[in-house]
Protein backbone atom coordinates (compact mmCIF):
# COMPACT_ATOMS: atom_id res chain seq x y z
CA UNK A 1 0.00 0.00 0.00
CA UNK A 2 1.50 3.37 -1.00
CA UNK A 3 2.24 5.78 1.84
CA UNK A 4 0.92 9.12 0.61
CA UNK A 5 1.60 12.27 2.60
CA UNK A 6 -0.51 15.40 2.76
CA UNK A 7 2.52 17.38 1.62
CA UNK A 8 2.91 15.30 -1.52
CA UNK A 9 -0.81 15.54 -2.27
CA UNK A 10 -0.75 19.32 -1.88
CA UNK A 11 2.22 19.62 -4.23
CA UNK A 12 0.60 17.28 -6.73
CA UNK A 13 -2.74 19.13 -6.61
CA UNK A 14 -1.03 22.50 -7.17
CA UNK A 15 0.99 21.15 -10.12
CA UNK A 16 -2.05 19.47 -11.65
CA UNK A 17 -4.25 22.56 -11.24
CA UNK A 18 -1.71 24.95 -12.76
CA UNK A 19 -0.25 22.49 -15.33
CA UNK A 20 3.12 23.88 -14.32
CA UNK A 21 5.75 22.79 -11.79
CA UNK A 22 7.12 26.35 -11.80
CA UNK A 23 3.74 27.90 -10.98
CA UNK A 24 3.09 25.25 -8.30
CA UNK A 25 6.43 26.10 -6.71
CA UNK A 26 5.48 29.79 -6.62
CA UNK A 27 2.10 29.06 -5.03
CA UNK A 28 3.61 26.81 -2.36
CA UNK A 29 6.73 28.92 -1.76
CA UNK A 30 8.99 26.05 -2.80
CA UNK A 31 11.76 25.65 -5.33
CA UNK A 32 10.93 24.05 -8.67
CA UNK A 33 13.42 21.32 -7.84
CA UNK A 34 11.53 20.52 -4.63
CA UNK A 35 8.24 20.25 -6.54
CA UNK A 36 9.81 17.98 -9.17
CA UNK A 37 11.27 15.77 -6.43
CA UNK A 38 7.92 15.48 -4.66
CA UNK A 39 6.21 14.50 -7.91
CA UNK A 40 8.87 11.86 -8.68
CA UNK A 41 8.53 10.38 -5.17
CA UNK A 42 4.76 10.34 -5.49
CA UNK A 43 4.96 8.58 -8.87
CA UNK A 44 7.22 5.97 -7.29
CA UNK A 45 4.75 5.48 -4.43
CA UNK A 46 1.77 4.93 -6.74
CA UNK A 47 3.79 3.12 -9.43
CA UNK A 48 2.31 5.27 -12.17
CA UNK A 49 3.29 8.22 -14.34
CA UNK A 50 1.21 11.23 -13.28
CA UNK A 51 2.45 13.84 -15.76
CA UNK A 52 3.77 13.92 -19.29
CA UNK A 53 6.57 16.48 -18.92
CA UNK A 54 7.68 16.27 -22.53
CA UNK A 55 5.03 18.84 -23.53
CA UNK A 56 4.30 22.38 -22.33
CA UNK A 57 2.16 22.94 -20.44
CA UNK A 58 2.64 19.58 -18.77
CA UNK A 59 -0.12 17.10 -19.48
CA UNK A 60 -1.86 15.08 -16.77
CA UNK A 61 -2.04 11.36 -17.48
CA UNK A 62 -5.09 9.18 -16.93
CA UNK A 63 -3.59 7.97 -13.64
CA UNK A 64 -2.93 11.60 -12.72
CA UNK A 65 -6.56 12.57 -13.27
CA UNK A 66 -7.73 9.69 -11.11
CA UNK A 67 -5.39 10.64 -8.27
CA UNK A 68 -6.31 14.31 -8.63
CA UNK A 69 -9.98 13.53 -8.08
CA UNK A 70 -9.22 11.75 -4.80
CA UNK A 71 -6.53 14.22 -3.71
CA UNK A 72 -8.97 17.12 -3.94
CA UNK A 73 -11.52 15.21 -1.88
CA UNK A 74 -8.93 14.35 0.78
CA UNK A 75 -7.63 17.92 1.01
CA UNK A 76 -11.16 19.29 1.10
CA UNK A 77 -12.10 16.95 3.95
CA UNK A 78 -9.00 18.02 5.88
CA UNK A 79 -10.01 21.65 5.36
CA UNK A 80 -13.51 20.86 6.63
CA UNK A 81 -12.05 19.28 9.77
CA UNK A 82 -9.75 22.23 10.47
CA UNK A 83 -12.53 24.76 9.86
CA UNK A 84 -14.82 22.87 12.21
CA UNK A 85 -12.19 22.97 14.97
CA UNK A 86 -11.54 26.68 14.41
CA UNK A 87 -15.26 27.50 14.39
CA UNK A 88 -16.32 25.77 17.60
CA UNK A 89 -16.82 29.14 19.30
CA UNK A 90 -18.83 30.50 16.34
CA UNK A 91 -16.01 32.81 15.24
CA UNK A 92 -15.29 31.47 11.78
CA UNK A 93 -11.86 31.76 10.29
CA UNK A 94 -10.11 30.40 7.25
CA UNK A 95 -10.34 30.95 3.50
CA UNK A 96 -13.59 30.96 1.51
CA UNK A 97 -13.51 30.76 -2.28
CA UNK A 98 -16.74 32.00 -3.89
CA UNK A 99 -17.69 31.56 -7.54
CA UNK A 100 -20.26 33.81 -9.22
CA UNK A 101 -21.73 34.15 -12.69
CA UNK A 102 -20.85 37.46 -14.34
CA UNK A 103 -24.08 39.41 -13.65
CA UNK A 104 -23.59 38.77 -9.90
CA UNK A 105 -20.32 40.71 -10.14
CA UNK A 106 -22.42 43.88 -9.82
CA UNK A 107 -23.36 43.16 -6.20
CA UNK A 108 -21.11 40.38 -4.88
CA UNK A 109 -18.61 42.83 -3.34
CA UNK A 110 -21.39 44.12 -1.07
CA UNK A 111 -22.18 40.58 0.03
CA UNK A 112 -18.52 39.84 0.76
CA UNK A 113 -18.09 43.07 2.71
CA UNK A 114 -21.17 42.35 4.85
CA UNK A 115 -20.03 38.79 5.53
CA UNK A 116 -16.54 39.98 6.53
CA UNK A 117 -18.05 42.49 8.96
CA UNK A 118 -19.74 39.57 10.69
CA UNK A 119 -16.70 37.25 10.50
CA UNK A 120 -13.57 39.45 10.28
CA UNK A 121 -11.13 36.52 10.46
CA UNK A 122 -12.32 35.02 7.17
CA UNK A 123 -10.16 35.47 4.05
CA UNK A 124 -12.16 35.55 0.82
CA UNK A 125 -11.39 34.84 -2.82
CA UNK A 126 -13.74 35.54 -5.75
CA UNK A 127 -13.91 33.65 -9.05
CA UNK A 128 -16.10 35.06 -11.86
CA UNK A 129 -17.03 32.77 -14.75
CA UNK A 130 -19.92 31.29 -16.70
CA UNK A 131 -22.28 28.73 -15.21
CA UNK A 132 -20.80 25.49 -16.55
CA UNK A 133 -17.16 26.25 -15.62
CA UNK A 134 -18.32 27.22 -12.12
CA UNK A 135 -20.20 23.94 -11.73
CA UNK A 136 -17.05 22.07 -12.77
CA UNK A 137 -14.95 24.02 -10.27
CA UNK A 138 -17.47 23.34 -7.53
CA UNK A 139 -17.45 19.61 -8.28
CA UNK A 140 -13.63 19.58 -8.23
CA UNK A 141 -13.43 21.45 -4.89
CA UNK A 142 -11.70 24.40 -6.59
CA UNK A 143 -14.36 26.73 -5.19
CA UNK A 144 -16.35 26.28 -1.99
CA UNK A 145 -19.71 27.76 -2.93
CA UNK A 146 -21.27 29.61 -5.88
CA UNK A 147 -23.96 32.12 -6.81
CA UNK A 148 -25.96 31.89 -10.03
CA UNK A 149 -29.38 31.04 -11.39
CA UNK A 150 -30.86 27.56 -11.18
CA UNK A 151 -28.33 24.98 -12.40
CA UNK A 152 -29.25 22.19 -14.85
CA UNK A 153 -31.10 19.21 -13.43
CA UNK A 154 -28.12 16.92 -13.99
CA UNK A 155 -25.75 19.08 -11.93
CA UNK A 156 -24.75 17.44 -8.64
CA UNK A 157 -25.44 20.54 -6.56
CA UNK A 158 -28.13 21.79 -4.23
CA UNK A 159 -29.53 25.20 -5.22
CA UNK A 160 -31.53 27.47 -2.92
CA UNK A 161 -33.05 30.78 -4.00
CA UNK A 162 -32.14 33.76 -1.81
CA UNK A 163 -33.05 36.81 -3.93
CA UNK A 164 -34.90 37.94 -7.02
CA UNK A 165 -33.21 38.93 -10.27
CA UNK A 166 -35.50 41.21 -12.31
CA UNK A 167 -35.00 41.12 -16.08
CA UNK A 168 -36.12 43.81 -18.51
CA UNK A 169 -36.68 44.22 -22.22
CA UNK A 170 -34.16 46.89 -23.18
CA UNK A 171 -33.73 49.16 -26.19
CA UNK A 172 -31.46 52.02 -27.23
CA UNK A 173 -32.72 55.38 -26.00
CA UNK A 174 -33.42 56.44 -29.61
CA UNK A 175 -35.74 53.50 -30.30
CA UNK A 176 -39.22 54.25 -31.66
CA UNK A 177 -40.87 52.55 -28.65
CA UNK A 178 -38.77 54.33 -26.03
CA UNK A 179 -40.96 56.18 -23.54
CA UNK A 180 -44.22 54.63 -24.73
CA UNK A 181 -46.46 53.23 -22.01
CA UNK A 182 -48.62 50.12 -21.97
CA UNK A 183 -46.95 48.30 -24.84
CA UNK A 184 -48.13 44.85 -25.87
CA UNK A 185 -45.90 42.08 -27.14
CA UNK A 186 -47.46 42.48 -30.56
CA UNK A 187 -45.81 45.91 -30.71
CA UNK A 188 -42.45 44.09 -30.88
CA UNK A 189 -43.37 42.03 -33.92
CA UNK A 190 -40.62 42.06 -36.52
CA UNK A 191 -38.14 43.83 -34.22
CA UNK A 192 -34.54 42.55 -34.33
CA UNK A 193 -33.31 40.95 -31.10
CA UNK A 194 -29.76 40.45 -29.81
CA UNK A 195 -29.52 37.04 -28.16
CA UNK A 196 -27.15 35.64 -25.57
CA UNK A 197 -25.16 32.52 -26.45
CA UNK A 198 -26.69 29.03 -26.44
CA UNK A 199 -26.93 27.61 -22.93
CA UNK A 200 -27.64 30.96 -21.30
CA UNK A 201 -30.58 30.85 -18.89
CA UNK A 202 -31.48 34.41 -19.90
CA UNK A 203 -31.70 33.41 -23.55
CA UNK A 204 -33.73 30.31 -22.67
CA UNK A 205 -36.21 32.41 -20.74
CA UNK A 206 -36.56 35.00 -23.52
CA UNK A 207 -37.12 32.32 -26.16
CA UNK A 208 -39.78 30.76 -23.95
CA UNK A 209 -41.63 34.07 -23.61
CA UNK A 210 -41.46 34.78 -27.35
CA UNK A 211 -42.75 31.28 -28.12
CA UNK A 212 -45.55 31.63 -25.58
CA UNK A 213 -46.63 34.86 -27.24
CA UNK A 214 -46.33 33.37 -30.73
CA UNK A 215 -44.18 36.35 -31.58
CA UNK A 216 -41.92 36.27 -34.63
CA UNK A 217 -38.82 38.41 -34.21
CA UNK A 218 -35.54 38.73 -36.10
CA UNK A 219 -32.54 37.23 -34.35
CA UNK A 220 -29.68 38.56 -36.44
CA UNK A 221 -27.13 38.68 -33.63
CA UNK A 222 -25.99 36.09 -31.08
CA UNK A 223 -23.29 37.34 -28.70
CA UNK A 224 -21.50 35.87 -25.73
CA UNK A 225 -21.93 37.64 -22.41
CA UNK A 226 -24.09 40.45 -21.08
CA UNK A 227 -21.54 43.18 -21.80
CA UNK A 228 -21.39 42.36 -25.51
CA UNK A 229 -25.19 42.18 -25.73
CA UNK A 230 -25.59 45.45 -23.87
CA UNK A 231 -23.24 47.33 -26.17
CA UNK A 232 -24.92 45.86 -29.26
CA UNK A 233 -28.28 47.17 -28.04
CA UNK A 234 -26.79 50.62 -27.43
CA UNK A 235 -25.52 50.60 -31.03
CA UNK A 236 -29.06 49.98 -32.26
CA UNK A 237 -28.55 46.40 -33.42
CA UNK A 238 -31.70 45.18 -31.69
CA UNK A 239 -33.64 44.75 -28.49
CA UNK A 240 -32.67 42.32 -25.75
CA UNK A 241 -33.63 40.84 -22.38
CA UNK A 242 -31.15 41.62 -19.60
CA UNK A 243 -30.82 41.54 -15.83
CA UNK A 244 -31.49 44.83 -14.10
CA UNK A 245 -28.15 44.49 -12.32
CA UNK A 246 -26.34 44.67 -15.66
CA UNK A 247 -27.97 47.81 -17.08
CA UNK A 248 -28.14 50.27 -14.15
CA UNK A 249 -25.25 52.48 -15.27
CA UNK A 250 -26.46 52.69 -18.88
CA UNK A 251 -30.00 53.56 -17.80
CA UNK A 252 -28.73 56.36 -15.57
CA UNK A 253 -26.59 57.68 -18.43
CA UNK A 254 -29.56 57.63 -20.83
CA UNK A 255 -27.90 55.14 -23.19
CA UNK A 256 -30.53 52.43 -22.67
CA UNK A 257 -34.22 52.38 -21.81
CA UNK A 258 -36.48 49.65 -20.50
CA UNK A 259 -39.61 49.00 -22.52
CA UNK A 260 -42.95 49.14 -20.70
CA UNK A 261 -44.25 45.83 -22.04
CA UNK A 262 -47.08 43.95 -20.32
CA UNK A 263 -45.77 41.65 -17.60
CA UNK A 264 -42.30 43.21 -17.47
CA UNK A 265 -40.00 43.08 -15.62
CA UNK A 266 -39.82 39.31 -15.26
CA UNK A 267 -37.95 37.82 -12.33
CA UNK A 268 -35.57 34.90 -12.21
CA UNK A 269 -33.94 33.75 -8.97
CA UNK A 270 -30.47 34.22 -7.54
CA UNK A 271 -29.44 30.92 -5.98
CA UNK A 272 -26.64 29.70 -3.77
CA UNK A 273 -25.08 26.42 -4.98
CA UNK A 274 -23.51 23.80 -2.70
CA UNK A 275 -22.03 20.38 -3.43
CA UNK A 276 -24.11 17.41 -2.38
CA UNK A 277 -21.91 15.91 0.33
CA UNK A 278 -22.41 13.90 3.47
CA UNK A 279 -20.04 16.20 5.38
CA UNK A 280 -20.17 19.90 4.65
CA UNK A 281 -17.68 22.60 5.50
CA UNK A 282 -18.50 25.03 8.29
CA UNK A 283 -17.40 28.19 6.49
CA UNK A 284 -19.39 27.68 3.25
CA UNK A 285 -22.34 26.65 5.42
CA UNK A 286 -22.04 29.96 7.28
CA UNK A 287 -21.96 31.89 3.99
CA UNK A 288 -24.99 29.96 2.72
CA UNK A 289 -26.91 30.80 5.91
CA UNK A 290 -25.88 34.45 5.57
CA UNK A 291 -27.18 34.58 1.97
CA UNK A 292 -30.51 33.02 2.90
CA UNK A 293 -30.88 35.46 5.79
CA UNK A 294 -29.53 38.72 4.38
CA UNK A 295 -28.67 38.16 0.73
CA UNK A 296 -31.86 39.68 -0.68
CA UNK A 297 -31.18 42.96 1.11
CA UNK A 298 -27.61 43.29 -0.11
CA UNK A 299 -28.26 42.45 -3.76
CA UNK A 300 -31.64 44.12 -4.27
CA UNK A 301 -31.92 45.64 -7.74
CA UNK A 302 -32.88 49.34 -7.50
CA UNK A 303 -34.89 49.30 -10.74
CA UNK A 304 -38.22 48.57 -9.12
CA UNK A 305 -40.45 45.64 -8.34
CA UNK A 306 -41.90 43.32 -10.97
CA UNK A 307 -45.23 44.01 -12.52
CA UNK A 308 -48.03 41.57 -11.64
CA UNK A 309 -47.79 38.37 -13.64
CA UNK A 310 -50.29 37.79 -16.41
CA UNK A 311 -51.80 34.30 -16.71
CA UNK A 312 -49.61 33.36 -19.69
CA UNK A 313 -46.51 34.28 -17.67
CA UNK A 314 -47.27 31.99 -14.74
CA UNK A 315 -44.15 29.92 -15.26
CA UNK A 316 -41.69 28.72 -12.66
CA UNK A 317 -38.67 30.99 -12.29
CA UNK A 318 -36.45 27.89 -12.42
CA UNK A 319 -35.48 27.64 -16.12
CA UNK A 320 -35.12 23.88 -15.69
CA UNK A 321 -38.93 23.75 -15.33
CA UNK A 322 -39.61 25.53 -18.62
Statement: residue 8 has pLDDT above 60: yes
Rounded Cα distance, 205 and 166, in Å:
12
DSSP codes of every residue in 256-300? EEE--BTT-SEEEEEEEEEE--SS--HHHHHHHHHIIIIIHHHT-
Residue 160 pairs with which residues in a beta bridge? 272
User: 154-158, 205-209, 232-236, 304-308: which has the minimum mean pLDDT?
Assistant: 304-308
Statement: residue 308 has pLDDT above 60: no
Residue 320's pLDDT band (cuts 50, 70, 90):
very low
With contact defined as beta carbons under 8 Å apart, do 301 and 247 qualify?
no
Enclosing domain of residue 131: 92-162+269-298
* Residue 87 falls inside a structural domain: no
Residue 272 pairs with which residues in a beta bridge? 147, 160
Whether residue 200 is found in the same domain as residue 309: yes
In this prediction, residue 140 carries a pLDDT of 83
Whether residue 218 is found in the same domain as residue 312: yes
With contact defined as beta carbons under 8 Å apart, do 202 and 270 qualify?
no
- Higher-pLDDT residue of 115 and 319 is 115
Residue 192, Cβ density class (10 Å: 0-12 exposed, 13-18 middle, ≥19 buried) = middle
Statement: residue 293 has pLDDT above 90: yes
Query: How many C-beta neighbours within 10 Å does residue 56 have?
Result: 8
Query: What DSSP designation does 171 have?
Result: E
In this prediction, residue 104 carries a pLDDT of 92
Q: Which of 46, 81, 116 is at the close of a domain?
A: 81
Q: Which of 18, 49, 81 is at the close of a domain?
A: 81
Residue 14, Cβ density class (10 Å: 0-12 exposed, 13-18 middle, ≥19 buried) = buried
CA angle in degrees (0–180, nearest 5) for 301-310-213: 100
In this prediction, residue 238 carries a pLDDT of 94
* Residue 237 falls inside a structural domain: yes
Whether residue 171 is found in the same domain as residue 218: yes
Helix (H) or strand (E) holding 113: helix 108-118
* Residue 221 falls inside a structural domain: yes
With contact defined as beta carbons under 8 Å apart, do 212 and 310 qualify?
no
Residue 260's pLDDT band (cuts 50, 70, 90):
very high
Whether residue 35 is found in the same domain as residue 114: no
Helix (H) or strand (E) holding 196: strand 192-196
In this prediction, residue 1 carries a pLDDT of 57
Rounded Cα distance, 202 and 209, in Å:
11
**pLDDT tens-place string over residues 225-259:** 899 999 999 999 999 999 999 999 999 999 999 99
Rounded Cα distance, 137 and 33, in Å:
29
Whether residue 174 is found in the same domain as residue 275: no
User: What is the percentage of the chain residues whose pLDDT exceeds 90?
Assistant: 43
Whether residue 220 is found in the same domain as residue 263: yes
With contact defined as beta carbons under 8 Å apart, do 58 and 15 qualify?
yes
* Residue 86 falls inside a structural domain: no
Closest CA to 134 of 319, 278, 275, 246: 275
| Total domains, the chain | 3
User: 10-14, 132-136, 299-303: which has the minimum mean pLDDT?
Assistant: 299-303
The size of the chain, in residues, is: 322
Statement: residue 291 has pLDDT above 90: yes
Whether residue 221 is found in the same domain as residue 262: yes
* Residue 22 falls inside a structural domain: yes
> What is the CATH number for 288?
3.40.190.10
* Residue 1 falls inside a structural domain: no
Whether residue 215 is found in the same domain as residue 309: yes
Whether residue 42 is found in the same domain as residue 177: no
| Section 50-68 average pLDDT | 89
Residue 280's pLDDT band (cuts 50, 70, 90):
low
With contact defined as beta carbons under 8 Å apart, do 94 and 123 qualify?
yes
Whether residue 174 is found in the same domain as residue 113: no
Average pLDDT, the chain: 85
* Residue 290 falls inside a structural domain: yes
Statement: residue 147 has pLDDT above 90: yes
- Higher-pLDDT residue of 40 and 309 is 40
Residue 148, Cβ density class (10 Å: 0-12 exposed, 13-18 middle, ≥19 buried) = buried
With contact defined as beta carbons under 8 Å apart, do 268 and 205 qualify?
yes
Residue 317's pLDDT band (cuts 50, 70, 90):
very low
What are the E-state strand segments in 82-172? 94-100, 122-128, 145-148, 157-172
Residue 98's pLDDT band (cuts 50, 70, 90):
very high
* Residue 125 falls inside a structural domain: yes
> What is the CATH number for 48?
1.10.10.10
Whether residue 176 is found in the same domain as residue 141: no
| Section 20-48 average pLDDT | 89
Whether residue 111 is found in the same domain as residue 150: yes
Phi first, then psi: what are they for 153, rounded to 5°? -55, -40
User: What is the percentage of the chain residues whose pLDDT exceeds 70?
Assistant: 89
In this prediction, residue 69 carries a pLDDT of 85
Statement: residue 122 has pLDDT above 60: yes
Rounded Cα distance, 240 and 225, in Å:
12
Amino acid sequence: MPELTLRSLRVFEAAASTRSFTRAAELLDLSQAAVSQQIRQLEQEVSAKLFDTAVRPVRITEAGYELLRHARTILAQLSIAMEALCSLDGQYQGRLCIGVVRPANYFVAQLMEAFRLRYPNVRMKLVIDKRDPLLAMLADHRIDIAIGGYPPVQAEVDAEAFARNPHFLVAPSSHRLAGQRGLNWADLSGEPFVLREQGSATRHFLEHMLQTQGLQVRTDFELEGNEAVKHAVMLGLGLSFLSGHVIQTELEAGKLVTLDVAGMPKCLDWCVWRRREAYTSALPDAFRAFLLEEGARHCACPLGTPAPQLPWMAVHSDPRMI
